[in-house]
A and B are shown apart, each in its own frame.
Chain A
Amino acid sequence: MALPKIVGIETELGVMVRGTPDWNPVSASSLVINAYVGGETGGLDERSVPIAWDFIDETPGADARELVPPEFAMPPEIETHLVNAVLTNGARYYVDHAHPEISTPECRDARSIVVWDRAAELIAVASMERAIDALPPGQEIVLYKDNTDRKGNAYGTHENYLLDRSLPFGQIIAAGTAHFITRQIFTGSGKVGSELPGMGIGDVPFQLTQRAEHFEEEVGLETTLKRPIINTRDEPHADSQRYRRLHVIVGDANLAQVATFLKVGTSALVFAMAEDGVLEVPMFREPVPAMHQVSHDLSLAEPLALAGGTSITALEVQLDLLEQATAWADQADLDVVGGEEVTRDVLRRWEQVLTGLERDPDSVAGQVDWVAKKRILDGFRERHDCGWDDPRLRALDVQYHDLRPTKSLAARAGLEAIVDDAEAADAVRNPPEDTRAYFRGRCLQKFADNVVAANWDSIVFDTGDEPLRRVPMLEPVRGTLAHVGQLLDESTTAAELLDKLGA
């Protein structure tokens, strides 16, 4: 029986300072986040100011593979986090290496992810606007929701799925590899040219994804070099006896809400089916080349070689997964993937997008980023009679992802909205009500002065003269409005809340 597919997305943003040739990405990232959360400039979200991230339980080097020879299990470089804040909506906003990064709060389903992912975009927009006041006249920090500088440097949009610890890791590899390679046809954000050595604009004028070419391994622990299709980081941020958190690093940053909705919604369905033991997936002969091949194939018709000697297209794999998911949904308890309504919407949109891609990709320009982007670029090429090597096309490619409303091409591309900005604006301040993010966010809203540190699975309180008190939150589906809403409403002090919780 599948467990609830709690999900979250971590987005690393591209960052630039305009108006000066002399700038540093780490400082710029710190400045733009501080502009939002506080620090010297005073913040928009003042209640997030004093909260430190608590690293006590973080073990990014833990490997999901139980027996891995040491030479294959090199722990990744310890992440150097500078600014690091928890927001009142349960999200985390921080500097990771040389990029601003924002992690959504834990969500129960694909629709919630779209709400808090859009909220993250609004937070980035507010940060940029506020940062202007802290910069010399004429300078501006610009954030881009993309995944590569198109010069070989990539940065991630990572998804996280709560899985049953008892699901064998080999099955996760099989399910994930088949889905991640083939879902690219609707999750890709598009890119002009290629970043692979020896590949010119004539070989690959445009491709489906930003990220595919940055993957070199099938399975592994790395995230910054020799990136694997299946990442084995074993850090559940939850009860490790019961749960695994699958850290998915292959995805593109999406501006199209339907693409985000389907990226998460279909993946949650695939892993729920795997947990129920009903998922059947093909095995590719060479997964890494297949991943690149799908990204490079604008016809969506190229056969991918299977281990058994036959072949299949990405579209055929996705249509088959859709068929399996539809059959599963008719007999499963859909609460694990967010309930009947959202699941039917995932299945309906999945079918619409696949059949649209099959017949006429331009018909899904409102739903799929690479199609929306390519449509603009094709129109531009025709109007200005230029080839794919025109630098203006590369500029448009980057500018599609510019988060400034005045410059964003995605905002002008006619993308379909699943949630409106009023709902997303509410989610900038408030957490989801149906995961432990509710408890985290409400505690910050109400008792920020008493919270000394927080992370995904605990909050540390200082209530005055007693020792610091840590509230563990090892169950991601507890700490919801239904569980603790009344307790939080009735508590006038943090001490009272902790006493009522028995912490």
Chain B
Amino acid sequence: MAEREQKKKSTTRRDDESVEETPASTESGEKLKAELDDLLDEIDDVLETNAEDFVKSYIQKGGQ
């Protein structure tokens, strides 16, 4: 067990080999931010009108 835990601590190897593989790279950061701004504009329109009442009325009994 001790040996395996030692191995798990050493994750630096991963850092070396997979730097370029994230789904969203930095150059798309600006695009993502613009998309989020558009989404937030839209949310102001689609958000449930009385948020507090809506949240209170969301009751779901009898589930697994």
Contacts and interface: CB of A to CB of B under 8 A. Distances in A.
Interface of A: 12, 14-16, 25, 96-99, 148-151, 153-156, 158, 223-224, 249, 280, 282, 306, 308, 310, 312, 316-317, 319-320, 351-353, 355-356, 359-360, 362-367, 375-376, 379-380, 383, 391-392, 394-396, 398-399, 406-407, 409, 412-414, 416
A15 B60 contact: yes
Nearest to A154: B63
Contacts of A360: 22
B14 A319 contact: yes
A379 B40 contact: yes
24 contacts: A14-B60, A25-B62, A97-B63, A149-B60, A150-B58, A153-B59, A158-B64, A280-B4, A310-B2, A310-B5, A312-B5, A312-B8, A319-B8, A353-B23, A355-B14, A364-B22, A364-B23, A383-B40, A391-B52, A391-B55, A394-B51, A395-B55, A399-B48, A416-B23
Contacts of B64: 12, 96-97, 155-156, 158, 223-224, 249
Interface in B1-53: 1-2, 4-5, 7-9, 11, 14, 18, 21-25, 32, 35-37, 39-40, 42-43, 46-48, 51-52
Contact of B46 (A12, A407, A413): A407
Contact of A149 (B5, B18, B21, B59): B59
Contacts, number: 144
Contacts of A412: 39, 42-43, 46
A150 B59 CA distance: 8
A391 B62 contact: no
A308 B60 contact: no
A142 to B, nearest CB: 10
A16 B62 CA distance: 14
Q: Which 9 A-B pairs have the closest CB atoms?
A: A155-B63, A98-B62, A395-B51, A97-B62, A149-B60, A391-B52, A156-B64, A363-B24, A392-B51
A360 B25 CA distance: 10
B61 A98 contact: yes
Nearest to B2: A308
A317 B2 CA distance: 14
A491 B51 CA distance: 57
Interface centre among B40, B42, B52, B61 (most CB of A within 10 A): B61
Contacts of B5: 282, 306, 308, 310, 312
A308 B9 contact: no
Nearest to A146: B60
A394 B4 contact: no
Given A376-B36, A391-B55, A399-B47, A320 B8 contact: yes
Nearest to B18: A355
A25 B35 contact: no
Contacts of A316: 8-9, 11
Given A25-B62, A379-B40, 17 more contacts: A12-B63, A96-B64, A97-B62, A99-B62, A149-B58, A151-B58, A153-B59, A154-B63, A155-B63, A316-B8, A355-B14, A366-B23, A367-B23, A379-B37, A391-B52, A392-B51, A396-B47
